[in-house]
Chain A
Amino acid sequence: MTSEKLILRHDYWKNINIQQSDIDFLYNYLLETETPQTSFELIGVLISKRIQQEVELAKRRQLGDKNTYLPKNHYQVNQVLAFPALGWQQGEILLDRQGYNPELPPFNVIKIKFDNGELREFATDLDEHVLNNPPEITLDDESLNSEYILSTHQENLTQKLQNELINNPDFVLVADRWFPKALLIDINIGHLNIAEATLDMGNGGPLPTPSIMEHLDINKGNNSKLAQFSLDYALQEDKRFDEVGPAGEMLWFLKHLEPKDVLETPLFLRYQPDEYDRSVLTNDMLALEQRLADELTPTFEETQDTEKVELRLLFPHWRTGTIPLSYFAKKIFPTAYEAPHIRFWLVDGNTKDKFPAWVVRKEGYVYGLSEWYNTRGLIPGSIIRLRKSTNRGEVIIQTSNQRSSRDYVRSILIGSDGGIVFATLRQVIKAEYDERMAMFLSDIEGLDEIWQNAQKSRNSLESIMMNMIRNLTKLTPQGHVHASELYAAVNLVRRCPPGPILALLTTRPQFVHVGDMYYHLKD
């Protein structure tokens, strides 16, 4: 028995079209399993189904198709044949004649014109030939290897499947798990009202779904997981509830009891994008941008340890009690499939104290650190270290353990005209800080007023930068300002990532680079 290697078109998986028959198959699969499945799991099922489908098609081509060339058959002139031994090339029969070879039993010969114009002859009416026994189909090609397909095309396939299912009213999606809507257990408005009351009694939550279910009279039948999934779906579709659990864990919270700064981006973190050309940024600037790890900076190259992150606190985050969810920090904090807000625990690496915090995914910050900043005596420019915890849903946060000391640091005062004045003064410092970015604030209300006023009239970034450089250069005998100092200073009055600042530094003639990312104003 010979074997025929089945190979799918090289772009079969890349250009796959999810068809209605695929959707019907997945629907029936979910009906049979009665278990919600992730997109990844469904893609695996779909790949297996498609491979099986192609194998069956190949077998049909071999056995049942009268247009498949087998030496034992007789064919007619003008008939089009497919040749399994020639990679299923197709050709038309031009003529049929008697074969001549006294050593062999009688047979005929057909002349074939292949699609590429080639002319070749083949034996027919020949009972003894290996091709008369259909070759066994082998599946050792990578285009038929589920693991290989998943590793190579997972993103593309998942996207295509999700696009199909999300618009299909027969499917529901909860926390990246799909299920037929028809199988859901009925959850009525009464159940949802009791769920709201349950969460309300617990200060809004978070509560896992089973804890809410305990208070509801739901007919679970013999499938409590299905009942849980049905409740999750009903809660998800009701605007009163917010799913705040990290990926893989469903936790519910009453939306109106979530912190205001989670539901709405705080004033100090609101950014009105400044148009700039990233191509003007030098390699040194890009490296500095990466070190500053601003959440508003586009993605970086993957060069940093993603198990722990060190960041320098910027005034807007210090003021709102938040941590920037920079590209690297994102890998430390819990994420979710769909939930825009994730409630989790921060653990002080020094004291082991735990306190709740929120990941606000889309807007790019982690909320809930005001009290911790205050207790630890942090200032803008303080260095914070984050690392993953072995406990799920927890992140360890730490500053260096240093005794209070009186250091000369840049201090921010508000002048009689309401403007910012920089002065180097001795201050009590409780935590490690970045000397270039440190800012000691003594008049927070005065700064708040500057931010409020900026809502009404917005100065250009360039004029803010010039003003800051003029003030900062007074503090040093050299009269130079480092780009990171300027970035920290600009963010005292306006939320701005490093990119636009660095772009102006390199393109505007009034900013003179004196080396090593230090600048001064042209005389």
Chain B
Amino acid sequence: MPQIGYSIIKPTLKTPYHIDFEWWKQNERNWQIILLGYLSPEHRQVLQEMSQEQKFDIIDPQTAEVRQVDALQHLLMTDYSKREDFISETTSLVEAIFRLFLVNGNHPMSSEEISGKLDRPAPLILQMLSGKRVHQGLRPYRHG
């Protein structure tokens, strides 16, 4: 169930967004089930064999900054980064953006950057991302 979001500064076309996995944990009771649904059967098996405490280090391709993610996030990103057909013409905008972040390792992107990759109007993307409701944990990226 989408929740009401908040923001201190009005987002612009340059504001970076990402998938806020903390949001998922706090706002979606069945988050693990929903996110597991994005994994392939093979990766679901791998996940079951992993320790729930294991953290993975993700390296930013531009700055080499390291962020730690849990096993589920890691598998989502590694799984989707290898898929080529993850977005189709029938994929909704929210779903397309969500999958785009999974593919790129959840590297923050602005509405303009997302627009360039999905071929959808940037203002429309911003309108959707900056609305009162948070869709699939897509939230402004706050550094640190």
Q: Which positions in A face B, CB cutoff 8 Å?
A: 69, 71, 83, 85-86, 99-101, 103-104, 107, 109, 118-123, 126, 129-131
Contact = CB atoms under 8 A, between A and B. Distances in A.
B55 interface: yes
Given A118-B144, A119-B144, A130-B61, A100 B55 contact: yes
Given A118-B144, A119-B144, A120-B144, A100 B63 contact: no
A120 B78 contact: no
Contacts of B57: 99-101, 107, 109, 121, 123
Nearest to B54: A100
Contacts of A131: 62-64
Contact of A86 (B55, B63, B66, B144): B63
Contacts of A109: 57, 66
Interface string B52-80: 00111111011111111000001000100
A123 B59 contact: yes
Interface of B: 54-59, 61-68, 74, 78, 144
Contacts of B78: 103
A103 B59 CA distance: 11
A99 B54 CA distance: 12
Residue picked from A83, A107, A121, most chain B C-beta under 10 Å:
A121
Contacts of A85: 62-64
Contact of A122 (B55, B58, B64, B74): B64
Contact of A129 (B54, B59, B144): B59
Contacts of B144: 118-120
Contacts of B56: 100-101
A121 B66 CA distance: 5
Given A118-B144, A123-B59, A130-B62, 9 more contacts: A101-B74, A103-B78, A107-B59, A120-B65, A121-B65, A121-B66, A121-B68, A122-B63, A123-B66
B63 A126 contact: no
A203 B63 CA distance: 78
B55 A129 contact: no
Contacts of A118: 144
Nearest to B57: A99
Contacts of B64: 69, 71, 85, 122-123, 126, 129, 131
A239 B42 CA distance: 99
Contacts of A86: 63
A107 B59 CA distance: 10
Contacts of B68: 121
Contact of B59 (A101, A119, A120): A101
Nearest to B69: A101
A104 B61 contact: no
A113 to B, nearest CB: 12
B24 to A, nearest CB: 21
A112 to B, nearest CB: 9
Contacts of A119: 144
A69 B65 CA distance: 11
B58 A101 contact: yes
Given A100-B57, A103-B78, A122 B65 contact: yes
Contacts of A130: 61-62
Nearest 3 CB-CB pairings of A with B: A121-B66, A71-B64, A99-B57
12 contacts: A83-B63, A101-B74, A109-B57, A118-B144, A121-B57, A121-B65, A122-B65, A123-B64, A129-B59, A129-B64, A130-B61, A131-B62
A416 B56 CA distance: 112
A40 to B, nearest CB: 40
A123 B58 CA distance: 9
Contacts of B58: 101
